[in-house]
Structure 1
Amino acid sequence: MVALLMLFIHTRHPRVVRSLVALILAGNIAYTLLVMEILKVGGNFDDFIHSGKLLYVSPIVRTLAYIVGGAYGYSHVRGSPTPFDQILPNRWAKLGLVFLMLYLTNQVVGPNPSSPLLITIFMIFLRLLLAAGTSHLIRIGEKADTSESYPPIRWLLVLLQASSIQRAGRFTYAIYLLNPIVILNFYYSFSGGLQADFFFLLIVAHSVICYVLANALTLTFESPFNRLSSLVLTTMFSKEKSL
């Protein structure tokens, strides 16, 4: 709803909307930095579990992926390079990002405990890169000619566009739709705190139930409905052509 409202405002005041999106992005990053610093979240599993409501479930944190996706869509409509290519225009800049991520990874997963600031920066970069990578694949996949892309990207697109992967995607989409139920159940349905080990076992158990239910709904409802819809539409179009 907010994105649709901003889209309407953009038709009359594009600069205002672009500035607002930049402010939301800066606020998202500042919120993550502030929460991690206040809670003193370390690099252990218990800290991440107990801070999940503020750093994983919170809508403020989850807007980051939508902002990146919106930026990619905006650049696609304007016919300009992707945000990733605009920020890192050459190979040296991309190589610098690789070395930065290697350094942050070594600091976070190394034997010595990392500061909350380094962990936060690593998380922000990881979320940005994941959202940018997904948006990049979507944009490249829409092109008729992908020969200009790097070979690993072309191979990944061929794999994702295979018929077997497309059929499997119908099941994973149902899992994606039901996954918020699992997340909300763990963070908001218990009256008291849980130990991290027992919490992880509950996640696995509830996830299995959710995924089995998703597959059952796909087989018994979504697939028959799609086939019936295709049959009806094909019949209607064939009648119109005959007339």
Structure 2
Amino acid sequence: MLVLILLALLAAQTELVGGLESGSLLLDLTQLAAGNVTRGTTTCVEQLRALHNAWQQGHSWALKAFDASGSGYHNLMLGNSLWLGNRWTCRALNEQLLQEFTQRQEQLLRQRAPFAHDYRVVYLHANSPWQLALTVKQPPLLHIGLCVPRSCDQPQLEQLLRQSLRHLERLALRPELVYTKQPEATGSYFAGPAFRWLLLLLSASLLLLLLGRSRLAGTSRYVACFDVATNWRRLWQPPAADHTPEIAVINGLRVCSASVLLGVHVVWYQFFSVHHSAQLAAKLTELAYLAGALEVFFVVSGFLTVSNFMRNDALQRSIASDTLGGNVRRFGRQLAQRYLRLAPLQLIVVLLSVLSFGYHREMSVFHLIEPLDELCERHWWRNLLFVQNLYPNKEMCCNWTWSLGCDMQFHIMAMLLLYMHTRYPQLVRRLVLMLLLANVLYTVLLQIVLDVPTTFEALYGIGDWLYTNPLVRMLAYLIGGIYGYAHARGLVEPFVALFPNKLAKCALAGVAVWLASRLQVLQLASPALVGCGFVLLRGAISTATAHLIWCSFRIDGCTRIYLCVAHLVIVLVFSVPLTLFFELPFNRLSNLLLASKIANGKEA
């Protein structure tokens, strides 16, 4: 009896494996054409029959067509979906390739087909009960490369594929055709609005740069803003004595955080785009905690905004003595200056991203999970207004720029509080403390209400509420602002003021250890504990970052390594061209325009 059970299990396993065995979609397609199952006879059908007959007779050109087409249906459970074949082998049907390397078997690659072939990619829904389904993303489409006769246009090829797929009863996939694509560039790519806008913007910038080197630069201050030589010197010259000195540790923190986030996002996009294996999914969950490095940027921004304002005594006295209307105009000029510094560069990034995604949509063999070019055509204005983070992640244009929207909103809030501080300092300090406590309470209660799950894929589903939510992200900015205020006023470090003795520090460490021990088994942790642990971890990262900046003012020479890394990785590779040709000219232009308005107002 035991032997019979074992034989039955082996038979069932063999049947399952046989259902998922490797197969060729091109073979099924040519068999469909050869079996006269299709309605009518077209050039495409006739050439598919000729391809099938040539394959049966062993002609090398037919073997190349089948060799160039993908076959697979293996390892489907954990995400393999790419059976692309080889585009170069398909080209060998139309032209001679590798003549220098095929003298011994020249018939393999030199023999041409009697009719032209093209490389196409077929995208299918698997619809298999054996495919692992994740919440974080839709099941990946099957990517199958086909080398088919050029006479088979897209509508006819898709019609034949649907008929062929209906006859694949032996497969457990139950595949369903989504669409087909010929990965080649077309003229429509250069006719899009993004390409015209980028060409117009680059032409205008080039014209202004040329004018900046002409005689007009000496007669017009506005044209002089685009003088490349002057901007190059300004880019590398040290800060003036009346300006805030460069803080080397901040540059180092930015570089290190950017490098960490870059590594996380490389794995992230690889998992979502082309590599759906369980191994990469496990790696992604391990690296997800490194996304906490994003807190560094908000801490730095809050620290610099508050400390720079509080050290400018002349500006504070002017605000305190000016009228409400005058302060509103001054506030508007400062926001306009910041906006004109960031918006042109973000516009360039959006246009380049749209063109890049549009190019890959046509040329790449991969299916794009996020149609960024389509999203930006509909929602570009959200990025220019810096409100993209207030919308769901699936609707964001250039969704990696959500932090820039958060930072702009935090900057507006910080400037309002700083303006109020010139007249009501006690009230503003209490408001900041209330905002800090309210943010902690809001974050914990939000995770309790959302019943925060303990698995990564379930947590991803509520990412819009936690990850890009400015009300949650405010904690790091507030901590950075508090440290900046204490530094500018010469006060005691905020952490030391809050935990002045060893007993208070030991109590904090005890709470952290207790939370860590309870969170070791996430399945047994309540949403309240998860929320407290989440806030404590983000607060610790933010406080440690602010503490490092604080200490850098008291230790000389310890942060030179950070400055070297910053210049090598970011400044030399990315920042110099963009800053030289876009940010610096428009920043000078905006300052000049705003200064001219102020001068005209005084003259009136």
TM normalised by structure 1 equals 0.62
Give the conservation status (yes or no) of the 8 Å contact 2:454–2:522. Answer: no
Matched, 1:138 2:549: yes
In the alignment, which residue of structure 2 is the partner of 1:9? 420
Query: Aligned residue pairs: how many?
Result: 172
**Structure 2 residue 563 is the aligned partner of structure 1 residue 166:** yes
1:83, 1:40 → 2: CA distance?
Answer: 33
The 8 Å contact of residues 171 and 218 in structure 1, kept in 2 or not, is answered as: no
| Counterpart amino acid of residue 564 in structure 2 | R
Q: 1:46, CA displacement in angstroms? A: 2.2
1:6–1:17: 8 Å Cα contact kept in structure 2? yes
Q: How does 1:1-243 map to 2 (within 5 A)?
A: 1-110=412-521, 112-144=523-555, 158=558, 161-163=559-561, 165-170=562-567, 217-218=574-575, 221=578
Which structure has the highest strand share of the two? 2
Listed one character per residue, the Cα deviations across residues 87-141 of structure 1 (whole Å, up to 9, x for unaligned) are 1111222122122111111211226520000010111111111111111110110
CA contact (8 A) 1:105 1:122 kept: yes
> Residues 26 and 171 of structure 1: is their aligned pair in 2 closer, same or farther, counting only changes over 3 Å?
farther
Q: State the distance in 2 between where 1:95 and 1:22 align.
A: 23
Residue 45 and residue 89 in structure 1: after superposition, are their counterparts in 2 closer, same or farther (change >3 A)? same
RMSD: 2.8
Task: Describe the superposition over 1:35-75 as per-residue Cα deviations: whole angstroms up to 9, x where unpaired.
Answer: 11111113221232112111110011111111111111222
Q: Distance in 1 between matches of 2:510 and 2:465?
A: 29
Alignment partners' CA distance in 2, 1:61 and 1:6: 19
Task: Give the C-alpha shift of residue 170 in structure 1.
Answer: 4.3
Deviation at 1:26, TM superposition (A): 2.3
Q: 4+ runs of 1 displaced by more than 6 Å? A: none
Q: SS at the partner of 1:169?
A: helix
| CA contact 1:76–1:139 (8 Å) conserved in 2 | yes
Q: Which runs of 5+ in 2 are unaligned?
A: 1-411, 582-604
Gaps of 5+ in 1: 146-156, 175-214, 226-243
Q: Over residues 168-220 of structure 1, what are the superposed CA-to-partner deviations in whole Å (9 max), with x where a residue is unaligned?
A: 2247668xxxxxxxxxxxxxxxxxxxxxxxxxxxxxxxxxxxxxxxx953475
Letter of the 2:442 partner, please give it: Y
**Kept in 1: contact 2:452–2:527 (CA 8 A):** yes
CA distance in 2, matches of 1:110, 1:173: 40
- Which of 1 and 2 has higher RCO (CA within 8 Å, sep 6+)? 1
Which structure's CA Rg is the greater one?
A: 2
On the 8 A contact 1:104/1:118 being kept in 2, the answer is: yes
Contact 1:32 1:61 in 2 (8 A): yes
Q: Which has the higher helix share?
A: 1
Name the % identity. Answer: 32
